[in-house]
Structure 1
Amino acid sequence: MAAIEREPPSSIEGSSPNRPQMFHRISDNAIDESSDADSDFVKLQKTISKERREARESPQARLQRAFPFTFHPNIRPLSTSDYESCIALENAAFPDPEHRATPEKFLYRLSTCPELSLGVLCTVVPDKAKNWTIETLDAAKPVETDRPNGAKSVLVAHIVSTRCAGDTITDKDMDYPKDWRIRRGRSADVGHQESGRTVAMHSLAVAPKLHGCGIGQMIAKAYLQQMKDAGVADRVALICQDYLVSYYERLGFKCIGKSPAQFGGGGWHDMVIDLAKYEVKVGKTPS
């Protein structure tokens, strides 16, 4: 089950309220086709106008508007110390509470198989961030203890997974053993299967403020390459709602069909990618 960036609204949160965007919109379209201007010149001006509009809506431009400071992503595996940040991000990224992992599931997954998780974090210095905020800021940990500038490492995207025995994800894979704290590594019928050769991607979440900035594609590509290089599995599987099928297909996943999983009310589709055939695709960033 995975959440991903939605199409950003026309007004991007985090942009400067003093930015003269209306001036740009007017000037970019101020071409009078009824004038005697040469048609080639009009076409050129239209092309330039289109390129300017696309530049303003590019992932890079959106990212610049979303942050009042330089964004330097730090991609690393997650641990139980990131537990509270993962919960805050999950709650923000999944509007439907039934589609979220519970706090206990996060603790179980980050404790049992932390090597199957990945996070994108950024360093936030309070003095430079001004009034900037994000859902995971309060749960962020200091970069260093007693660091003079009070910098924090803030989670902005994560992938959290387990292993499963089958080629696709079932309700048992989405579950977890309720006595996991005292099992001490003993296998269970539900949850993580240590000998499984399929990575079950349970959560791909991006902070809503950063939707449309390419963060989801960045962490997904990094994760798939990491799983392939590590040789820990033959494939990565996930379940998603129908409106996200095309998104994951652009990342290289194949839709197997409707999933029998009833987690969160059902309505899922099985998506699988063969790691042996996976190659990073270079192209337009999905929105």
Structure 2
Amino acid sequence: MLIAFLFNLFFIQIIFTTITSITYSCWTNSTCGCSLNSAILTKIIGGEEATMNSWGWAVSIRRRNNHICGGSLISSELILTAAHCLVSVKTLSSLSVTAGSNYLSIINQQRSVSEIFIHQNYDSMTYINDIAIIRLSSSFDMSDRSLAIICLPPSLLEYPSNDTTVIAIGWGVLSPTEKISSDTLQQVTLKIVANTISICYVLIHNENGQICAGVQGGGKDTCQGDSGGPLMMFSNKKWYIVGITSYGDGCALPLSPGVYTRVSIHYV
């Protein structure tokens, strides 16, 4: 009887694990879009802590050593981020970028900034063309396997397609009432919302250059401090950056998805 009970309990645990978590196994020979460890995401309400070294392209952009925005490694010396993170920067010496750690408080590699390139048509009122590139003063050491480069998407207008599952990551606040960024990298699973649906249409200002992502009923979203970080899609066993965290109306509210810069049609 006890053996039967334990077997049933074990079987239930297997089913529960299968239903509530997804492991994204990467093509390890890829030159981009694969980190040291596979990403594991659970189907829970809200975000969750990211698996260690599963998002090797995630970087923290810092101003006077304080985290201000996220970004993504697209080469050993180039960071893709949001324009609104950088428009107020007066001196490059105040900026630095850290990589290779899930924790803001633990610095693995850190570099100063030599140049910033903000999209020439960025509009600070509408956040249209909210995209920028940072060039580092020296390359990150990519022999450190905790670092990786994310893949850029194809240049297609409708990419990603509506209802695609996407992942957002960042060190932003864990609730809109908080003011301090999370020390631990967080991840959340979202869905692309069609820009023709009213909850997205009322938020965006350019249906080609901006996309919405969220979940029905709210509860999952990016928030302050996540700006500039990647919105990612898993395809062909590797990760592509399809969006850049831009803005939203509050955080994780019902009927209010987040707005992201569509990467596939932008050239900085």
TM range (shorter): under 0.3
More strand by share: 2
The alignment's TM-score, normalised by the length of structure 2, stands at 0.24
More helix by share: 1
The structure whose Rg is larger is 1
The alignment's TM-score, normalised by the length of structure 1, stands at 0.23
